[in-house]
Structures are given as C-alpha cells and as structure tokens.
Chain A
Amino acid sequence: MIEMNDVWKTYKNGIKAINGIDVKINKGEFVYIVGPSGAGKSTFMRMMYREEKPTSGKIIINGKDVGKMKNKNVPKLRRDIGVVFQDFKLLPKLTVYENVAFALEVIEENKTVIRKRVMDVLSLVNLKNKARFLPDELSGGEQQRVSIARAIVNNPVILLTDEPTGNLDPDTAWEIMNLLDEINNRGTTVLMATHNKDIVNSFRKRVIAIEDGLISRDEARGEYGYED
C-alpha cells in the first residue's frame, strides 16, 4: 500500500528533512507518526501525496511511483488520499454540506452522487443535523469532523492526518480518535502525525518514531516514548 525505499528529502533552503527512510505500511493499518518538533513527520506525509517530491529514493503508493509521477497524474493520486490538518481549512462562507460537497464538485462528480455521498458521510461524522450551519457556528471538534468528512467523502484508500487533535481539548480529541478508528475499521489506512502522548499510549496502535529525518523506532503496539 505505502512503501518507501531509501527516501531522502532536502528542501530548497538546504534543510535536510528526511535522511534515508525505509518503511512499509499495509492496507488497513492505523499508524501513529511521532517524534520531536522539526523531526520530519509532516514532510514524511507530504511526500505521500506529492505536495513535496523526494530528493532521492522511491515512494510507492498503490503500486505507483509517486516521486516519478508526471504532474498531470497527481490529481488522480490525490483522489485516493484524504488529508486532514490541525487547522481544518474549511471555507468560511460555505455551509457544512457545501464544504463537504465542494470536494466532489471540483472533481466533477455528478449532482446525485454528490448528494448521496455527502449525506452518508455527514451521518458517519454525526453532523447531519448541522448540514446547513456555517463553520463559524460550530465547535472546534465539529469543525474537525467536517474536515474529516470532506477528506473521506471520495472514499480514499488512505487518510493522512497531521495533528488532527492539535487544536482540540482532550474530550474532543477522543471524539475525533473514535471517528478515525471507525474510518479505519471500514478498511481505510490511517496515518496520524501527533504529539498527543495520552492518545498514543492509551489507544495502542503501530508507532513510527521519526528523529532527525530517520525512523528511530517502529513498534506494532508502541508507546509515545517522549516527555511532553
């Protein structure tokens, strides 16, 4: 599903963010990416959906070499990968429904398909009753649920989440974790970069620790392992 072979990444400004990573992640796994700030977690994930190109090495997603992929094929790759951020990135003037539907409209899905899929995914994230609300009228947890709904509405096989609980209080963070777990149980591979020690330690999953752009630890049911 996801495979990296000796991947290196040096940014244009000379910063070496990833220094030779080998990893394999199978379909249906749930993986935490942990490590100190600046270790390269976000870079690691950004290379998967070709937001960044690796400087050298091979990244295979769904059997395709992402690093060598032509620009015109990148949109197709991204339709297979959902991405969620700490800051939600919702469009403030669109309602919850419209925000989620937007993801399908811009890939030219037809109206009836859009309607059905959006309603399905809104009921999955438990926001059907707030479909007509604007993002401003929602709590932080609800906003994050909308952004998750938008990320998975096209049924991607991989869901990348970069500190999805970073802006949320502990209870709300748990609520998001349960949602991600449910999405994972439906077969989607979920990667989650996080600094949330409590969650990693109590909701045990595979843990990949990155330090100075290298994998320092990879444990099947690992612990967070840092003091913060």
Chain B
Amino acid sequence: MKIKTFGRHSKEAFKNIGRNGWMSFASISAVTVTLLLVGVFLTLVLNLNAFGDQLEEDVEIRTFIDLTAEKEQQDELKAKIENISEVESVTFQSKEEGLDNLIDNLGDQGEVFESLKDENPLSDEFVVKTSDPQDINRVADQIKQFEYVENVEFGQETVNRLFKVLEISRNVGLGLVIGLLFTAMFLISNTIKLTIVARRTEIEIMKLVGATNWFIRWPFLIEGVLIGIFGALIPIGVLIYGYYFLTDLISTRYPTFFIDLLPVTPFVYQLAALLVVLGVIIGVWGSLTSMRKFLKV
C-alpha cells in the first residue's frame, strides 16, 4: 500500500471513530476494562506461577528409616527408591546431620537441643526428590510400602492446596477474561457495523466504480485496531505504575514478604506489549466480524 493511501485510510478511520463518538467510547471502555483485568490477572498468575516453581523446587519426600535397618538394608532401600521412575534423586541424611540442621534452623532456641546430641531421637533418612513435583503423592505412597521405612513426610497439604488454588484462580480468571474478550470484540464489531451502515452509500459507490475490496476494508480494519490500541493505554499505565509501586512498597516496607515478585523490568514491558497486541487482536477480530456480516466485499 502506498503511504498516501495509508494516510487516507487512517484519516477515514479517525473520522469514523469521531462520527460514532459514544459507541467508540463504549468500545474503548470495554477494551480498557478487559485489558485491565487481563493485566491484573496475568500479573497475579505469573507471579503465583513463579512462586509455585520456587516452592516446587523445595518439595521433597523425607523417608525416615527404621532404626533396626543395617547399612546393607539401607542400601537396598535406596536402590529400590531410585528404581521408581519418577524419582530424580535420593540423598542420605544421617540422624546427626538431621539434628544439626534442626539446631541451625531454630537459631537461638536450638541450643536446648544441643544436650540431645548424645541421645539423638531422630532417625536416619533419605531425602527424595521427584522430577515432577506433581508426582510426589504417588511416589510417597509407593515408598511407604517398602520395608524398613518407618515413615514418610512431605508438605503434602501445602503443596496440594497451592496447586488447587493456582488451578482454580487460573480457570476462573481465564473464564472471566474470555467472557470479557468476547464482550469487547462484540462491542467493537457493533461500533464498526454502525460506521458501515452510516457509510453504505459511500461503500456502494466505491464498489461500483471499482475500488478494490481491500481499499474498502482498510479504514474499518484500522478503526478496529485504533479502538484496541486506545483501549490498551490506560491498562498499561495503571499496570506499569501499579506494579512498580507494589514492588517498591514490598521491598521497602515488608522486606521479609514471603513471595519474591518478578522483577519490574522486563516484566512490565512484556506485559505492556502483550496488552497492546491483545488490544489489536480484539480490534481486528471485531472489525473482521462486522465486515464479514455487513460489508459483503
């Protein structure tokens, strides 16, 4: 397309938006609300995911070994555990190391346990990691059946609950966003339908005198794209500023906050780019929908 022609189409697109002022405003608002929610939702999910990954890394099965097991039987047990296909690594931790860890973790209060060093109440254990944290339940069940296993322990409840919450929030958010995307698309396609109806004589003449189909379509397509981009502006501003503010607040006021947020850059810029792309997609989709129905070229 020639630059001059593109200029003409853009001018027409702006004129169209101005002509249906209120409908355009409604469409832009719908895109704004949608993208704002998409943005907030993505920020949450991506951060939760990162947090989940972090947690998953830490997920391990502590297999306590029966006190009666000799070295030989311990090795046998280790081999059996390693044979489970989902298992990634098995590390032995003696009861002495276990106690040391415990004392370290408890800090000052740990000193009371120092006296236990002679009569260590803990067991030797294997620390088992699975390649996929989702398998942890099944692997733990299997290990429990083995001989000389006194007990298994893992952050079962926490892990399960976290996965549930992640999944539910992902699904609810996704449903909400999809619904909103459709609403925004529908409003845009309605706005453009109004433009098409308002310009039907013009379109009819263009067809009659032999304007190409794309020449006729472009202004409507650009109109949709513009609505999408305008709709993305406020959400981008709010999210960049809001995220910056939040990370700043957390790092200065609550430095020990349990979740590490994703770093501001490049996260916000990626998010901004994504929102613009989404806005454009909704816009193009909306205009294509109404062109297909009403333009008939």
Contact = CB atoms under 8 A, between A and B. Distances in A.
B202 interface: yes
B202 A107 contact: no
A78 B210 contact: yes
B207 A78 contact: yes
B109 interface: no
Interface stretch (B29-37, B91-99, B174-182, B211-219): B211-219
Nearest to B202: A91
A76 B2 contact: no
B209 A79 contact: yes
Contacts of A189: none
Interface in A87-104: 89, 91, 102-103
B201 A106 contact: no
A78 B207 CA distance: 8
B137 to A, nearest CB: 59
B212 A75 contact: yes
B205 interface: yes
Q: Which of B5, B210, B211, B215 has the most CB of A within 10 A?
A: B210
Interface residues of A, number: 21
Given A108-B5, A108-B215, A78 B208 contact: yes
A49 interface: yes
Contacts of B215: 106-108
B70 interface: no
B206 interface: yes
Contact of B205 (A72, A74, A77, A91): A91
B19 to A, nearest CB: 11
Tell me whether chain B's interface is mostly helix, strand or loop, or mixed. helix
Contact of A89 (B8, B205, B212, B216): B205
Band of interface residues on B: 10 to 19
A106 B213 contact: no
A58 interface: no
A79 B210 CA distance: 5
A13 interface: no
A102 B205 contact: yes
Contact of A78 (B5, B8, B209, B216): B209
Interface string A34-60: 000000000000000100000000000
A202 interface: no
A154 B205 contact: no
Contacts of A89: 201, 204-205
Contacts of A76: 210
A27 to B, nearest CB: 20
A69 to B, nearest CB: 13
A9 interface: no
A129 interface: no
B209 A91 contact: no
6 contacts: A75-B211, A91-B201, A102-B202, A106-B215, A108-B2, A154-B210
Q: What are the 10 closest A-B residue pairs judged by CB atoms, nearest first?
A: A78-B210, A79-B210, A106-B211, A103-B209, A75-B210, A106-B206, A75-B212, A83-B208, A107-B210, A107-B211
